[in-house]
A and B are shown apart, each in its own frame.
Chain A
Amino acid sequence: MYAFNYHRPASIDEAISALSGASDGTVMSGGQTLLPTLKQRLASPSDVIDLGAIAALKGIREDGGAIVIGAGTCHAAVAGDATVRAKIPALAALAEGIGDPQVRNRGTIGGSVANNDPVADYPAGLLGLGATIKTTKREIAADDFFTGLFETALADDEIITEISFPVPQKAGYAKFPNPASRYAIVGVMAAQGPAGVRVAVTGASEGGVFRVAEMEAALGGNFSAEALAGIGVPEDNMNADIHASAAYRAHLVGVIAKRAVEAAG
Chain B
Amino acid sequence: MPSVSMTVNGKAVSGEVEGRTLLVEFLRQNLSLTGTHVGCDTSQCGACVVHVNGESAKACTVLALQAEGAEVTTIEGMAQNGTLHPIQAAFKEHHGLQCGFCTPGMVMSAADLLQRNKNPDETEIRDWLEGNICRCTGYHNIVKAIHAAAQAMRG
Interface residues of A (CB under 8 A from B): 1-6, 8, 31-32, 35-36, 38-39, 48, 50, 52-53, 76, 99-103, 105-106, 180-182
B70 closest partner in A (C-beta): A52
Chain A residues, CB < 8 A from B62: 31, 35, 106
Looking at the complex, which one of A31, A32, A53, A101 makes contact with B112 (CB distance below 8 Å)?
A101
B2 closest partner in A (C-beta): A6
B63-A105 in contact (CB<8A): no
B57 at the interface (CB under 8 A from A): yes
B154 at the interface (CB under 8 A from A): no
A105-B19 in contact (CB<8A): no
B41 at the interface (CB under 8 A from A): yes
Looking at the complex, which one of B20, B41, B58 makes contact with A2 (CB distance below 8 Å)?
B20
Looking at the complex, which one of B42, B66, B68, B128 makes contact with A101 (CB distance below 8 Å)?
B128
B43 closest partner in A (C-beta): A36
Known: A2-B20, A4-B20. A31 touches B56 (CB 8 A): no
Chain B residues, CB < 8 A from A181: 44
Q: Shortest Cβ distance from B141 into chain A, in angstroms?
A: 20
Q: Shortest Cβ distance from B109 into chain A, in angstroms?
A: 7
| Chain B interface residue number, banded | 20 to 34
Cα of A2 to Cα of B41 in the assembled complex, Å: 16
- Pairs A–B under 8 Å by Cβ, sample size 27: A1-B20, A2-B20, A4-B20, A6-B19, A6-B20, A6-B65, A8-B68, A31-B66, A36-B42, A50-B63, A50-B66, A99-B130, A100-B46, A100-B132, A101-B113, A101-B128, A102-B43, A102-B46, A102-B49, A103-B58, A105-B55, A105-B57, A105-B112, A106-B57, A106-B62, A181-B44, A182-B130
A34 closest partner in B (C-beta): B61
- Classify the interface of chain B: helix, strand, loop or mixed: mixed
Chain B residues, CB < 8 A from A5: 19
A7 closest partner in B (C-beta): B19
Cα of A9 to Cα of B57 in the assembled complex, Å: 22
The 9 closest A-B pairs by CB, nearest first: A100-B131, A6-B19, A100-B130, A1-B20, A105-B55, A102-B58, A35-B61, A102-B131, A6-B65
Looking at the complex, which one of A50, A102, A180 makes contact with B109 (CB distance below 8 Å)?
A102
B18 at the interface (CB under 8 A from A): yes
Chain A residues, CB < 8 A from B68: 8, 53
Q: Shortest Cβ distance from A177 into chain B, in angstroms?
A: 10
Chain B 110-153 against A: per-residue CB contact (8 Å), 1 yes, 0 no?
A: 00110000000000000010111000000000000000000000
Chain B 1-45 against A: per-residue CB contact (8 Å), 1 yes, 0 no?
A: 010000000000000001110100000000000000000011110
Q: Specify which of B43, B109, B112 lies most central, judged by the most chain A CB atoms within 10 Å of its CB.
A: B43
A96 closest partner in B (C-beta): B127
A74 closest partner in B (C-beta): B55
Cα of A2 to Cα of B2 in the assembled complex, Å: 16
B61-A32 in contact (CB<8A): yes
